[in-house]
């Protein structure tokens, strides 16, 4: 470790890794020093992006083991596909067992595809004996952080704790084929995006500085559906865009999910979260929204209402892109502009927090155990949707449950 700085290596070279790398312009205590991907050319492209942004002298590595053993690498960010999580973590642990040294490992959401795999991730990181973090960017969104701080300092202090949180993440669908495949991703939009929304709701309802286990989940209710992408014309379009292995006529995943989780706090008071996620939302682009309600107060936020707006007439017909907002759906009309997506969505704050914790030798409060908690809640949501009933939490055999979507047997 260079004095006062960490060297970070990324597993994965896709969309999320590049988002993290772009966010590093707001990180002071660490440098991006390496990228490994099974696609060597893409690893070099991601490393070149880091160098071009001057966020680190990154280089592409030939293997995970080589990157873990490199003297300039102190921490690993796991950002590869869900179905590679455990194999990636096992290779890290194997390299450490042969003499390599790391300070910490951080893993992108979700921690794993189901409860059993999430427990395995926890076992592996504890075997490794390193600090660990669960990368849930939305908890570090400046809007959420500041709004939560004010609501608890003013509203809750005078009127009592908040009792209902709502969170939603909606867009028109993921970038890569593996996201759409239940057998690889582990589910559909519920697993992919409700991991954000459930944790946002829990975080809003938890007092600043209080531990996550202040709130204990007791009941879960959920529904899932394929509203758009299993329609024949859209199933065919999806297959055309993503390749023949993504066939929603034969093996669909849910493109809509909603869930309600009831908690009790340390005083026995009941509070609730409502979460909604969608791959069938057609708007300007990615929409993140949240609400927090208490006895005499409320707060709300919507990512599409936060920045500038531009208008392009129908006479302007440029190429499609995502230069205005993530998951952009149009290039004409009145469009929102998110000034800094890496800041607004929480990536900068998240990466500052975890690098500072690792540099100081401090275990982050948002760790692999938190990722396990979130994964188990998601499995309870799938169980509720499949059985069409409210689930008392935790249900029996939760860690052996695998959703029908992941097994390829779900019928919308």
Please give the Cα distance from 340 to 348 (Å, whole number).
10
Does residue 197 contact residue 276 with C-beta atoms inside 8 Å?
yes
Q: What does the pLDDT read at residue 349? A: 97
Nearest one of 301, 288, 355, 303 to 20, comparing CA atoms: 355
Which letter does DSSP use for residue 96 in this model? H
Mean pLDDT of 361-379: 98
Does residue 351 contact residue 23 with C-beta atoms inside 8 Å?
yes
Mean pLDDT of 56-84: 98
Q: What does the pLDDT read at residue 324? A: 63
Is the model's pLDDT at 1 over the cut of 70? no
Q: What does the pLDDT read at residue 323? A: 62
Percent of the chain whose pLDDT exceeds 70:
97
Please give the Cα distance from 252 to 180 (Å, whole number).
8
Residue 311, beta-bridge partner list: 334
Q: How confident is the model at residue 322 (pLDDT cuts 50, 70, 90)?
A: low
Q: Which of 14-23, 203-212, 323-332 has the lowest mean pLDDT?
A: 323-332
Q: Tens of pLDDT along 215-266?
A: 999 999 999 999 999 999 999 999 999 999 999 999 999 999 999 999 999 9
CATH annotation of 139-342+374-407 = 3.30.360.10
Q: Tens of pLDDT along 202-215?
A: 999 999 999 999 99
Mean pLDDT of 393-402: 96
Q: How confident is the model at residue 390 (pLDDT cuts 50, 70, 90)?
A: very high
Vertex 355: Cα angle to 289 and 67 (nearest 5): 110
Q: Check residues 153 and 311 and name the one with the higher pLDDT.
A: 153
pTM of the predicted model as reported, rounded to 2 decimal places: 0.94
Nearest one of 24, 22, 346, 16 to 8, comparing CA atoms: 24
Mean pLDDT of 119-135: 98
Q: How confident is the model at residue 339 (pLDDT cuts 50, 70, 90)?
A: confident
Q: Which of 92-101, 223-232, 277-286, 364-373 has the lowest mean pLDDT?
A: 277-286
Q: What does the pLDDT read at residue 320? A: 79
Whole-number mean pLDDT of the chain?
94
Q: Homologous superfamily of 6-137+348-363 in CATH?
A: NAD(P)-binding Rossmann-like Domain (3.40.50.720)
Q: What does the pLDDT read at residue 312? A: 74
Mean pLDDT of 154-173: 96
Residue 410 structure tokens: 């779900």
Q: What does the pLDDT read at residue 317? A: 78
Nearest one of 302, 309, 262, 264 to 286, comparing CA atoms: 302
Q: Check residues 112 and 284 and name the one with the higher pLDDT.
A: 112
Domain boundaries, the chain: 6-137+348-363, 139-342+374-407
Nearest one of 15, 47, 45 to 34, comparing CA atoms: 47
Q: How confident is the model at residue 318 (pLDDT cuts 50, 70, 90)?
A: confident
Does residue 351 contact residue 20 with C-beta atoms inside 8 Å?
yes
Mean pLDDT of 255-279: 97
């Amino acid at each position: 470790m260079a004095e006062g700085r960490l060297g970070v290596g990324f597993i994965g070279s896709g969309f999320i890794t590049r988002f993290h790398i772009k966010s590093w312009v707001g990180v002071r205590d660490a440098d991006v020093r390496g990228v490994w991907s099974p696609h060597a050319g893409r690893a070099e492209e991601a490393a070149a992006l880091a160098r071009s942004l001057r966020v680190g002298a990154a280089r592409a590595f030939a293997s995970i083991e080589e990157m873990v053993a490199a003297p300039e690498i102190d921490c690993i960010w796991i950002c590869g596909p869900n179905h590679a999580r455990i194999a990636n973590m096992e290779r890290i642990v194997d390299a450490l067992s042969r003499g390599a040294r790391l300070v910490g490992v951080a893993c992108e959401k979700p921690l794993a595809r189901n409860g059993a795999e999430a427990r395995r991730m926890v076992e592996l990181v504890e075997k490794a004996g390193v600090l660990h973090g669960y990368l849930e960017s939305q908890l570090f969104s400046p809007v959420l952080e500041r709004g939560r701080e004010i609501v608890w300092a003013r509203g809750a202090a005078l009127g009592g704790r908040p009792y209902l949180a709502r969170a939603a993440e909606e867009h028109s669908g993921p970038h890569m084929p593996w996201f759409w495949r239940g057998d690889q991703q582990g589910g559909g939009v519920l697993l992919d995006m409700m991991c954000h929304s459930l944790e946002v709701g829990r975080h809003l309802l938890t007092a600043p500085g209080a531990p996550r286990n202040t709130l204990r989940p007791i009941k879960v209710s959920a529904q899932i559906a394929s509203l758009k992408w299993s329609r024949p014309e859209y199933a065919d379009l999806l297959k055309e865009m993503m390749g023949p292995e993504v066939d929603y006529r034969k093996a669909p995943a849910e493109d809509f999910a909603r869930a309600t989780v009831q908690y009790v706090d340390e005083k026995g008071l009941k509070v609730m979260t409502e979460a909604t996620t969608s791959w069938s939302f057609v708007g300007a682009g990615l929409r993140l929204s949240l609400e927090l309600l208490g006895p005499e107060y409320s707060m709300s936020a919507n990512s599409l209402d936060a920045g500038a707006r531009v208008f392009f007439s129908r006479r302007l017909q440029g190429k499609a892109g995502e230069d205005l907002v993530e998951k952009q759906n149009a290039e004409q009309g009145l469009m929102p502009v998110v000034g800094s997506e890496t800041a607004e969505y929480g990536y900068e704050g998240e990466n500052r927090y975890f690098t500072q914790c690792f540099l100081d030798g401090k275990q982050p409060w948002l760790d692999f155990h938190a990722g396990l908690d979130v994964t188990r809640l998601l499995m309870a949501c799938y169980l509720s949707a499949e059985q069409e009933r409210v689930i008392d939490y935790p249900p029996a055999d939760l860690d052996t449950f695998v959703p029908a979507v992941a097994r390829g047997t779900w019928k919308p």
